[in-house]
Structure 1
Amino acid sequence: MSLVVENISKNYGDQKALDNISFSVKKGEIVGFLGPNGAGKSTLMKILTTYLKADSGTAVVNDFDVVLEQKNVQKSVGYLPEHNPLYLDLYVREYLSFNAEVYGVSKSRIEEVIVLTGLASERHKKIGALSKGYRQRVGLATALLHHPDVLILDEPTTGLDPNQLVEIRAIIKNIGKDKTVFLSTHIMQEVEAICDRVIIIDKGKIVTDKKLNNLVTDRTEQIIEVEFDKAVNKKDFTSLPDFTSATNTHDLVWELTFSTATDRRSDVFDFAQNNGLKTLQIALKNKNLEQLFREKTAKK
């Protein structure tokens, strides 16, 4: 396992930031770490990168304990914090060269990470003259300099415009082909686009830990979108099994909601035949990550 977290807790005075959380991440996984503001995401990332110590529990990165083997953990991890610390008066290549000396890696590695993160056209500019997107690339390049096996990225796409989002997303996806990536973000589309798995934390507790392609199994309800060839009386839908509601979204298109995870499309098709209707289109609308996030973190 690349990451193993067991019964980690952390308090700030009377505030419990992390409450006895446990999970593990396999080598090569890209895991999205989600939660509302103040849920404990950054706190856990700082513990995994040795910036903070937990009050209780253990964490292991690449088989190194984050308390007992800090130097080995730091060598194994590439970390991009939420507020990317950069020396704005340095040139891109100059800044990477400085960090290469700190890590004790060869100068040839500088050119490798410049190419990998798409910084070739900006390498001779001062960091202070770069856009937010390119500054994030510099942070990623720095995190990659020492060939880490694990990348921990805290809000790597905050403040980027749509084009920059796509570019950084592609870089992270490419990096994830041979590294373990653990990233936090508030952008659900980000996780759906690049992650294999999602962990959702709320009030310091893990409320969901699931593979992205298994999200459908979390359904507590099902929505079927169907278009008929004729008008339908809304009351007629009550004959369908597990039916709860119907919404006429536009023209002859309806969204039918059922209180079951069982696929009811065949029942809708039979309903159409029994009522002298034709189905022009019919599709199951699966729950997306945003819906799941709202369900799991809604204030009660």
Structure 2
Amino acid sequence: MSIRVQNLSKQYGKQKALDNISFQTQSNRIIGFLGPNGAGKSTTMKILTGILPIEDGQCWINDIDLKFNSLEAKRTIGYLPENNPLYLEMYVQEMLHFQASLYQVKNIEKRISKVIERTGLQQEQHKKIKELSKGYKQRVGLACAIIHDPKVLILDEPTTGLDPNQIIEIRQLIRELAQDKTVLLSTHLMQEVEAICDEIIVIHQGQIKDQFLLKDKQERYPNLSMEEIFVKLTK
């Protein structure tokens, strides 16, 4: 069991961002976390990564209780937020070295070399991050997220703003990463869901509307596309 959420609620003032949500995922799957803007996706992801505190409910990452063992849980999580906060004046290698140091990664140089190869950054590793295309900046963000070899990857709209070729490249990279990691990703692109996801969770107005395996889509929603299913669940 990679991610388990039970009766999780979150409130911003009088606005309820999450309303008693529960779900669980299996290991080594790509889970599409879908919903309109303001549905609660980013709030859920920030709670799962420990950025926001748990106010009401419980979360477990690989059976580690996030509320009571936050630091241990964070060691098993990699996170790429929507805005991809990189230090643009740093060189790619420098950024990865900094990130690896934060996680106290052993054999840092060897690990950086492996991650650079895995994320296809060989030709860009000696450049400053500000010199890279958006697609390569996303690769650097993913490299930072996996530098400590986490078991769970949480990606908030990882292909937003990329051109079609860059989207295909990042999707392929995510597929490769999911061979030994669980990936929870949010996206507004239904094509992306069809292309790479194994499982779907739909959230709307802070509530889970459905959770199902992509292979069961036709049985569950006969003759409906993912776009139509999304509209049906979030109207």
Superposition pairs of residues 145-156 of structure 1, within 5 angstroms: 145-156=147-158
Confirm or deny that 1:79 pairs with 2:16: no
State the shift of 1:54 in Å. 2.7
Confirm or deny that 1:144 pairs with 2:146: yes
* Residues in 2 aligned to 1:183 and 1:66: alpha-carbon distance in whole angstroms: 19
Measured against aligned partners, the alpha-carbon deviations of 1:141-161 in whole angstroms (never above 9, x if no partner) come to 011010100001111111000
Percent of pairs with identical residues: 55
* Residues in 2 aligned to 1:94 and 1:181: alpha-carbon distance in whole angstroms: 26
TM-score normalised by the chain length of structure 2 = 0.97
Q: Specify the SS of the correspondent of 2:16.
A: strand
Structure of greater Rg:
1
Counterpart for residue 62 of structure 1: 62
* Residues in 1 aligned to 2:33 and 2:218: alpha-carbon distance in whole angstroms: 19
Measured against aligned partners, the alpha-carbon deviations of 1:245-279 in whole angstroms (never above 9, x if no partner) come to xxxxxxxxxxxxxxxx5xxxxxxxxxxxxxxxxxx
Counterpart for residue 229 of structure 2: 292
* Residues in 2 aligned to 1:297 and 1:188: alpha-carbon distance in whole angstroms: 14
Q: Specify the SS of the correspondent of 1:120.
A: coil
Superposition pairs of residues 263-278 of structure 1, within 5 angstroms: none
The higher relative CO (CA closer than 8 Å, separation ≥ 6) is in 2
* Residues in 2 aligned to 1:99 and 1:41: alpha-carbon distance in whole angstroms: 25
* Residues in 1 aligned to 2:129 and 2:23: alpha-carbon distance in whole angstroms: 37
Counterpart for residue 15 of structure 1: 15
State the shift of 1:213 in Å. 1.1
* Residues in 1 aligned to 2:22 and 2:101: alpha-carbon distance in whole angstroms: 36
Q: Specify the SS of the correspondent of 1:198.
A: strand
Q: Specify the SS of the correspondent of 1:20.
A: strand
Counterpart for residue 174 of structure 1: 176
State the shift of 1:217 in Å. 2.2
Confirm or deny that 1:164 pairs with 2:166: yes
- In the alignment, which of 122, 125, 142 is matched to residue 123 of structure 1? 125
RMSD: 0.9
* Residues in 2 aligned to 1:143 and 1:187: alpha-carbon distance in whole angstroms: 22
* Corresponding pairs, count: 233
State the shift of 1:80 in Å. 0.5
State the shift of 1:218 in Å. 2.9
Superposition pairs of residues 1-300 of structure 1, within 5 angstroms: 1-105=1-105, 106=107, 107-219=109-221, 286-298=223-235
Moved more, 97-106 or 143-152: 97-106
Amino acid at match of 1:293: F
State the shift of 1:55 in Å. 2.3
State the shift of 1:27 in Å. 1.1
Q: Specify the SS of the correspondent of 2:102.
A: helix
Q: Specify the SS of the correspondent of 2:75.
A: helix
Structure 1 spans left out of the alignment, 5+ residues: 220-260, 262-285
State the shift of 1:183 in Å. 0.6
Measured against aligned partners, the alpha-carbon deviations of 1:136-185 in whole angstroms (never above 9, x if no partner) come to 00000011010100001111111000000000000000100111111111
Amino acid at match of 1:56: D
Amino acid at match of 1:40: G
Measured against aligned partners, the alpha-carbon deviations of 1:179-237 in whole angstroms (never above 9, x if no partner) come to 11111111111111111000000000011101101111233xxxxxxxxxxxxxxxxxx
Structure 2 spans left out of the alignment, 5+ residues: none
* Structure number having the greater strand percentage: 1
State the shift of 1:64 in Å. 1.2
State the shift of 1:20 in Å. 0.5
4+ long deviations beyond 2 Å = none
State the shift of 1:102 in Å. 1.3
* Residues in 2 aligned to 1:113 and 1:288: alpha-carbon distance in whole angstroms: 36
State the shift of 1:74 in Å. 1.0
Q: Specify the SS of the correspondent of 2:123.
A: helix
Amino acid at match of 1:117: T
* Residues in 1 aligned to 2:32 and 2:71: alpha-carbon distance in whole angstroms: 26
